[in-house]
């Protein structure tokens, strides 16, 4: 009896392995992305970059740049089931990497979820991090920021048939989901808005909870929310009344000023030469965010 159970269990595993060995359909599973494929640009790689930065020197020694990114945010930082990464943040990361002397093949993207990103960046798990990362003073105590390369605003994502929520002032008593420690969450918790919050580790989990009716709204930056809404236009929509400002920065080791300046230079260069706009329109622009030219020069500290 027991033996038979083992055999059954083993055969399930074997069957799965066998089907996998036979391959399967090519391409990405599920619905095709709405509004066409997200573009992926190529950038000229700088040669012989010399910088007094310990992070960069370590990266040059290992021959690979490790960049932290999100994997579950469509049009921003996304990794499909074939392992291909795409989105605006990914493009920004590649532009900067090119100026630091690393081609696309020399980049190792590492998925860093929001709930562990302070730990991950401040402890140097990644060389730098591009993933809808809001610059604020609290975080500056642990992480160095270059940018802002984009300014988003916190907004609300609701189900398509939602009538009760028209903006941040109408969420009193409603269940709102966001990420542990994220800035819009801190904001919406304030008595002024008075929402009940659910705090999860990723926005995609929040979106799932919204779809299931577990929560009434998801709050975070409009750029992220528009991506989710564009993925499922029949079920979700963005309220469209931003109630904060969220300047996105590239996060890195707090003490590596040389790297910070180099990344700021790279950003400014690509904003000026048009790469930035092209990348924006090929990615975020497709989810319905209008292009706004970022302010240059970028603030330094």
Q: Could you list the residues that contact other proteins (CB under 8 A)?
A: 2-3, 5-6, 9-10, 12-13, 16-17, 19-20, 23-31, 58, 62, 66, 71-72, 78-83, 108, 110-113, 115-116, 118-120, 122-125, 141-142, 175, 180-181, 198-202, 204-205, 207-209, 211-214, 231-235
Which CB sits closer to other proteins, 20 or 293?
20
Which CB sits closer to other proteins, 72 or 221?
72
Dist CA 202 CA 232 (whole Å): 18
Residue 158, sorted as left (phi over 0), alpha (psi -120 to 50) or beta, turns out to be beta
φ and ψ at 30, to 5 degrees? 90, -170
Which CB sits closer to other proteins, 40 or 46?
40
CA dihedral in degrees (260, 261, 266, 272; nearest 10)? 130
Which CB sits closer to other proteins, 220 or 264?
220
User: At closest approach, how far in Å is the CB of 114 from other proteins?
Assistant: 10
User: At closest approach, how far in Å is the CB of 78 from other proteins?
Assistant: 6
Dist CA 89 CA 279 (whole Å): 9
User: At closest approach, how far in Å is the CB of 203 from other proteins?
Assistant: 9
Q: Are 298 and 264 in contact (CB under 8 A)?
A: yes
Which token pair is 107? 């980049």
User: At closest approach, how far in Å is the CB of 77 from other proteins?
Assistant: 11
User: At closest approach, how far in Å is the CB of 292 from other proteins?
Assistant: 27
User: At closest approach, how far in Å is the CB of 192 from other proteins?
Assistant: 22
What is the CA 80 to chain-centroid distance, rounded?
13
Count of CB atoms within 10 A of residue 118's CB? 18
Dist CA 237 CA 58 (whole Å): 44
Which CB sits closer to other proteins, 76 or 267?
76
Residue identified by tokens 């497709």 is: 286
Which CB sits closer to other proteins, 15 or 169?
15
């Amino acid at each position: 009896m027991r033996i038979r159970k083992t055999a059954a269990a083993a055969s399930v595993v074997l069957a799965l392995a066998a089907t996998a060995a036979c391959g399967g359909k090519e391409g990405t599973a599920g619905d095709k992305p709405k509004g066409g494929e997200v573009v992926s640009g190529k950038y000229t790689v700088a040669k012989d970059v010399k910088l007094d930065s310990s992070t960069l020197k370590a990266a040059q020694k290992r021959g690979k740049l490790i960049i932290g990114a999100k994997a579950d945010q469509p049009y921003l930082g996304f990794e499909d089931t074939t392992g291909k990464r795409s989105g605006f943040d990914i493009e920004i990361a590649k532009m900067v990497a090119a100026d630091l002397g690393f081609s696309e093949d020399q980049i190792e993207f590492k998925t860093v979820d929001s709930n562990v990103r302070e730990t991950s960046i401040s402890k140097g798990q990644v060389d730098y991090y591009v993933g809808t990362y809001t610059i604020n003073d609290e975080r500056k105590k642990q992480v160095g920021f270059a940018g802002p390369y984009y300014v988003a605003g916190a907004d609300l994502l609701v189900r398509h048939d939602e009538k009760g929520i028209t903006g941040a002032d109408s969420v009193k008593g409603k269940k709102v989901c966001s990420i542990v420690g994220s800035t819009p969450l801190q904001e919406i918790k304030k008595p002024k808005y008075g929402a009940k919050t659910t705090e999860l580790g990723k926005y995609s989990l929040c979106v799932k909870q919204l779809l299931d009716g577990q929560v009434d709204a998801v709050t975070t930056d409009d750029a992220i929310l528009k991506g989710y809404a564009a993925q499922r236009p029949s079920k979700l929509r963005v309220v469209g009344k931003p109630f904060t400002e969220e300047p996105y920065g590239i996060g890195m080791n707090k003490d590596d000023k040389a790297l910070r300046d180099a990344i700021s230079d790279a950003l400014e260069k690509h904003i000026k030469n048009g790469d930035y706009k092209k990348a924006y329109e090929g990615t975020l622009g497709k989810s319905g965010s209008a292009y706004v030219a970022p302010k240059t020069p970028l603030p330094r500290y």
